[in-house]
Chain A
Amino acid sequence: MAKFSPYENNGGTCVAVAGDGYCVVAADTRLSVGYSILTRDHSKICQLADKCILASSGFQGDIKALQKNLAAKELVYEHNHNKKMSCPAMAQLLSNTLYYKRFFPYYTFNVLGGLDSQGKGCVFTYDAVGSYERTGYSAQGTGAKLITPVLDNKLKSPNPLILPARDAVTPLSESEAVDLVKDVFASATERDIYTGDKLEIVVINSSGIHREYIELRKD
């Protein structure tokens, strides 16, 4: 008699890359359970504020609950402070929201992308219980271990903890970053069974939010 588990891994991969004045957030759209594909058309990306996008992989039940929870908290913030939440503020809120369920965690692996108040791209990467860090790029999910080494190779910047501080500007332009993300997902699709079908790419820059879809291998 199998013991009931409240968790399940629905697979998928999320990636975000930040640059000077833009942020690219991308995720595949495959939803799986075990060896079955439940749907090829499920978005893992949620817009929380006008310059703030959350991409999450893991257990879809917890992801939906988390996204709704955050959207509601953002609305309350807007009503209390008469302005939308900034990306760093949302990053802290997400961390606390995850930690409040420290003893029954959200099984979600999140990547938050957006623009900070100076208009520079920012990416925040999380573990399942809320530890977070601002980075220049991040990958989470089943394909993350395949993707992260490639992003390290292309985008790795000097460690921000080094003194005297070295300038860490992402060398890529917005279109180069989008091309890199497409390539990296194409490679992850080849070797990860849970990644594929379609890629949803969302680009945030000063002129707003722009979304596109790319076909990936469906096998």
Chain B
Amino acid sequence: MMKPDMSALETHFGAPAGEDCGLLFDVDDSSMPAMEFPNCPNFDRFQAKTKDMVKNKRGTTTLAFIFDRGVIVAADSRASMGGYISSQTVRKIIEINPYMLGTMAGGAADCQFWHRNLGTKCRLHELANKRRISVTGASKLLANILYSYRGMGLSIGTMIAGWDEKGPGLYYVDSEGARLKGNRFSVGSGSLYAYGILDEGYRFKMSIEEAGELARRAIYHATFRDGASGGCVSVYHVGPDGWTKLSGDDVGELHFQYYPVQKTPVEQEMVDASPSTA
């Protein structure tokens, strides 16, 4: 298989996938799993329709924000392929290590693979430098990899949230190569709805329960209005001792908690009337 000329990006690919069965990454500065490229005139458009067809596209709502007690990260759990719901139980919040979380939006396989790869790199950093990697460093590692695959059709919109020596950290990283530091992000098809609730209810000083409840409400409202989001709301908190899962709630049940059914007077009359007619 012919490899396109990548020298301008100053990266190099590791050994071809055959030699070490593709199970191990080469340990070097810009280590990257070697991928075969099809030998064809227009690489970017190669089998574009088929690739689009087989890709597990995802509508999603994920959000994360920093407040005075740390970082809250929340996401729904639906995966859709066009109009078909392929799963309601997807883990969109990935545990990179005990003090760092990543969220998934975009292509399911892309997010899973590269987050796992990031976790591996973070661990190697710890072993090489005898200290944990910072959120800044981890997000930069991921952003650099995604930038080198820019234009090849990866679809990843992720937030890296964690607690390091500088305190809470939150970065947005995507497959276009963007890497943004911020206090509040929401990513996905339902993000607009989530921003509505999140921006309105956000204050820097909040208790952990209040912050978790804000996140839960924001995701719930996004699942209510966005067809591509649904399933379960998972809410995580990242504090100085690492992350903990605050809650996991089925959105269908959450709806009736927020908007309980009101009994109407007509129903009561019917209940009273039935014994006399029986």
Footprint of B on A, CB under 8 Å?
5-7, 73, 76, 93, 95-105, 107, 125, 127-133, 135, 145, 158-163
- Contacts A/B (CB < 8 Å), 11 sampled: A73-B23, A76-B21, A102-B113, A103-B43, A104-B36, A104-B46, A127-B81, A128-B55, A129-B56, A135-B87, A159-B232
List residues of chain B with CB within 8 A of the CB of A103.
35-38, 43, 46, 152-153
In the complex, are the beta carbons of B21 and A73 less than 8 A apart? yes
Query: Is B245 an interface residue when CB atoms closer than 8 A count as contact?
Result: yes
In the complex, are the beta carbons of A102 and B50 less than 8 A apart? no
In the complex, are the beta carbons of A160 and B112 less than 8 A apart? no
List residues of chain B with CB within 8 A of the CB of A161.
77, 89, 91, 231-232, 234, 248
Footprint of A on B, CB under 8 Å?
17, 21-23, 33-38, 43, 46-47, 50-51, 54-56, 77, 81, 84, 86-91, 107-113, 152-154, 231-232, 234, 245-250
Give the residue among B33, B37, B89, B247 with the most A Cβ atoms within 10 A. Answer: B89
List residues of chain A with CB within 8 A of the CB of B86.
127
- When C-beta atoms are compared, the residue in chain A nearest to B54 turns out to be A128
List residues of chain A with CB within 8 A of the CB of B55.
127-129
List residues of chain A with CB within 8 A of the CB of B246.
163
Cα–Cα distance between A61 and B111 once the two chains are bound (Å): 27
**A129-B50 contact in complex given A101-B36, A103-B35, A159-B89, C-beta closer than 8 Å:** no
In the complex, are the beta carbons of B109 and A98 less than 8 A apart? yes
In the complex, are the beta carbons of A127 and B245 less than 8 A apart? no
In the complex, are the beta carbons of B22 and A100 less than 8 A apart? yes
In the complex, are the beta carbons of A100 and B51 less than 8 A apart? no
List residues of chain A with CB within 8 A of the CB of B232.
159, 161-162
Give the residue among A98, A100, A107, A127 with the most B Cβ atoms within 10 A. Answer: A127
In the complex, are the beta carbons of A133 and B89 less than 8 A apart? yes
List residues of chain A with CB within 8 A of the CB of B152.
103
Cα–Cα distance between A135 and B231 once the two chains are bound (Å): 15
Closest chain B CB from A140 CB (angstroms): 10
Cα–Cα distance between A125 and B33 once the two chains are bound (Å): 23
In the complex, are the beta carbons of B56 and A131 less than 8 A apart? yes
Cα–Cα distance between A101 and B90 once the two chains are bound (Å): 23
In the complex, are the beta carbons of B109 and A131 less than 8 A apart? yes
List residues of chain A with CB within 8 A of the CB of B84.
145
- When C-beta atoms are compared, the residue in chain B nearest to A101 turns out to be B36
Closest chain B CB from A199 CB (angstroms): 24
In the complex, are the beta carbons of B21 and A102 less than 8 A apart? no
Cα–Cα distance between A103 and B34 once the two chains are bound (Å): 11
- Which 4 pairs of residues, A with B, have the shortest CB-CB distance? A131-B108, A128-B54, A131-B109, A163-B248
List residues of chain A with CB within 8 A of the CB of B56.
127-129, 131
Closest chain A CB from B109 CB (angstroms): 4
List residues of chain B with CB within 8 A of the CB of A101.
35-36
- When C-beta atoms are compared, the residue in chain B nearest to A105 turns out to be B54
- When C-beta atoms are compared, the residue in chain A nearest to B104 turns out to be A131
In the complex, are the beta carbons of B50 and A100 less than 8 A apart? no
Known: A99-B109, A102-B109, A131-B56. 19 other contacts (CB 8 A): A73-B21, A76-B21, A95-B112, A95-B113, A100-B17, A101-B35, A103-B152, A104-B47, A105-B51, A107-B54, A127-B55, A131-B108, A132-B112, A133-B89, A158-B250, A159-B250, A161-B91, A162-B248, A162-B249
